[in-house]
């Protein structure tokens, strides 16, 4: 029996090694590594560091980030964007370039990722501006043809706008629009402020950092 086991021992060991290599190759071919990517929402933390200095910031319109990762092909359907967290920490901003690295964390299915996911781009530039607070006297436009407006009383007659300096600088005046068509007596009510540029054109500003104190 011993002679049967030891006979051609080197050849037998070689055969086992070859069989193992072939087995691994078959497994690798049937379930290979693949590179995939997900679009992940980009979060901001420690933004209060900048706000505490009387400034505001934006990421140049970047709200999502592309994250690439390696995974086995049989597992790729399991991974969802919610398994990955992407964020920038504004307390780590690099003063010279105002850039901050994008940090990636895997929050679910960590064991399925072959390597740590990578963000593209790996850093973003933060635009930092001074905040400005400015008062505007409310104005009322002319009525339509065929109508005349008597005494007008606005409460308040002045409002304050607070926001990034470049936005406040583009606002020349603030007014209210009062519809008088069909009216034959005193009108009362509320009206939303309307923003105008230096040419009298209406401005539509959807930046959430603009605060209108009414």
User: In a 10 Å sphere around its CB, with 0-12 CB exposed, 13-18 middle and 19+ buried, how is residue 1 labelled?
Assistant: exposed
pLDDT at res. 90: 92
Model pLDDT for residues 157-199, shown as the tens digit of each residue: 888 999 998 899 999 988 887 766 666 677 777 778 889 998 8
How far is it, in rounded angstroms, from Cα 139 to Cα 137?
6
Model pLDDT for residues 23-75, shown as the tens digit of each residue: 555 545 577 889 999 999 999 999 988 888 888 998 988 999 999 999 998 99
Higher-confidence position of 64 and 135:
64
């Amino acid at each position: 029996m011993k002679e049967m086991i030891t006979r051609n021992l080197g050849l037998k060991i070689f055969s086992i090694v070859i069989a193992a290599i072939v087995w691994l190759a078959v497994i690798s071919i049937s379930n290979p590594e693949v590179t995939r990517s997900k679009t992940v929402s980009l979060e901001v933390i420690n933004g209060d560091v900048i706000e505490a200095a009387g400034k505001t910031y934006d990421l140049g319109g970047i709200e999502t980030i592309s994250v690439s990762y390696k995974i086995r092909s049989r597992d790729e359907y399991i991974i969802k964007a919610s398994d990955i967290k992407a964020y920038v920490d504004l307390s780590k901003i690099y003063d010279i370039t105002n850039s901050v690295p994008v940090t990636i964390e895997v929050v679910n299915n960590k064991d399925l990722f072959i390597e740590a996911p990578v963000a593209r781009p790996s850093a973003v530039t933060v635009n930092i501006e001074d905040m400005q607070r400015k008062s505007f006297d409310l104005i009322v436009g002319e009525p339509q043809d065929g109508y005349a407006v008597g005494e007008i009383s606005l409460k308040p007659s002045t409002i304050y706008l607070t926001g990034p300096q470049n936005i406040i600088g583009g606002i020349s005046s603030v007014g209210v629009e009062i519809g008088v068509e069909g009216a034959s007596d005193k009108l009362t009510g509320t009206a939303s402020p309307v923003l105008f540029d230096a040419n009298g054109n209406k401005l539509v500003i959807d930046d959430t950092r603009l605060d209108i104190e009414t």
